[in-house]
Amino acid sequence: MTITDVLERLARRRVRRYLLHALALMERNALYRDDVDWPAVRADALAGCAGAVAYTGTHETLRRVLRQAGGPHSGLRPPGARTTAKAPAPPTGGLVDGVAHLRLPACGGDSRGYRDAGNRVVRELAAAGPAGWIVDLRGNQGGNMWPMLAVAAPLLPDGVLGHFVPPHGPDQVWTLRRGRIALAGRTLARTGNPPTEAPVAVLTDGSTASSGEAVAVAFRSRPHVRTFGTPTHGMTSANETHQLRDGTRMYLTASYFADHHRTVHRGPLQPDDPGGTDPLTAAATWVRAPHG
């Protein structure tokens, strides 16, 4: 046996361990893990990657199993992979017929800058004494949900905001306490603004997805809250990030979103009121109406 043969055999063993480790993470944590025949999946994966001497030789197989075990929200990103993500836009706002209109875009990249910009906008809008608020999540495709919730926190009551609900095991609860946004008791973001009590309309559309939907879930079933627009994208689930040996990030969907009542949401969030061809105007009209 030559040195080359020995090195190739060692490389295949490393790849095998890498593949089995990734599959074990899915088997323990994936949202649809109970629907997968894991002995058969492992056998097929090992057979399909038997000749691989580089970790990348397993990635297509892992993507296929991820789709089966975690659904379409799961994914794999090798180190150095190109991303088409746009630079994050900050929250913006203005007044619509005396109603504060807060636009919350997706949050990626500079989460502190997003939160600080959003807190300034909320502070300026609150100083205008609006009749109520419109939280506009249209086009929000997700990212980091915690700065988004921190910006919206003055419009939400203290207490439970929502849950991550896995197939087995305990929920992870998102809470708001005195301006602190926490997950399972661990503070992840803070708001710099005091709470305000006013009616809130939430706008969504088919591009409201993932963490954008999580913010919408935090407002679900609240007194003096009504949703307008069109159904959300339907990616109402949470991902765990696992970094594999070569730096590849595996995004594994592991739980559903649930609101503060622990009502689990699977699929698109339906609005209370479509709002016709102009949901923004419909939302402002509702906010200005008397609320008992």
- 150, 189 Cβ separation under 8 angstroms: yes
Average confidence score pLDDT of the chain = 93
Class of residue 22 by CB neighbours under 10 A (exposed 0-12, middle 13-18, buried 19+): buried
Distance of CA 11 to the CA centre of its chain: 36
Q: How far apart are CA 122 and CA 153, in angstroms?
A: 10
Distance CA 158, CA 263 (A): 18
Query: What value does the mean pLDDT take over residues 14-42?
Result: 96
Residues 6+ apart with CB under 8 A from 107: 88, 114, 143, 144, 145, 147, 148, 211
Task: Determine phi and psi for 275, rounding to 5 degrees.
Answer: 80, 15
The pLDDT of residue 108: 82
pLDDT of residue 275: 78
b/e per residue 148-159 (b: at least 16 CB within 10 A): bbbbbbbbbeee
Task: Give the pLDDT band (50/70/90) at residue 291.
Answer: confident
Closest CA to 279 of 207, 212, 227, 228: 228
Q: What is the torsional sign of CA 36, 37, 39, 44?
A: negative
The fraction of the chain above a pLDDT of 90, given in percent, is 86
Residues 109-162 pLDDT 10s: 778 899 999 999 999 999 999 999 999 999 999 999 999 999 999 999 999 999
Average pLDDT over residues 171-181: 96
pLDDT in the model for residue 5: 61
Distance CA 1, CA 212 (A): 57
Spatial separation of the C-alpha atoms in residues 279 and 212, rounded to whole Å: 18
Helices and strands per DSSP (H, E), number in the chain: 7, 13
Which residue is listed with tokens 């949050």? 107
Note the pLDDT of residue 153: 97
Pairing of strands 133-136, 92-96: unpaired
What pLDDT shows up at residue 211?
96
Encoded tokens for 253: 């969907």
Tokens of 90: 């900050």
User: How far apart are the C-alpha atoms of 275 and 39, rounded to whole Å?
Assistant: 50
Q: What is the dihedral of CA 265, 266, 272, 276, to 10 degrees?
A: 150
Helix/strand/coil for 110? coil
Name residues whose C-beta falls within 8 Å of residue 247's C-beta, 6 or more positions apart in sequence: 78, 79
Residue 145 CB contacts under 8 Å (≥ 6 apart), including other chains: 107, 211, 214, 215
- Specify the 3-state DSSP secondary structure of 238: strand
Task: Say yes or no to pLDDT of 64 above 90.
Answer: yes
Residues in Cβ contact with 28 at an 8 Å cutoff, skipping those fewer than 6 apart: none
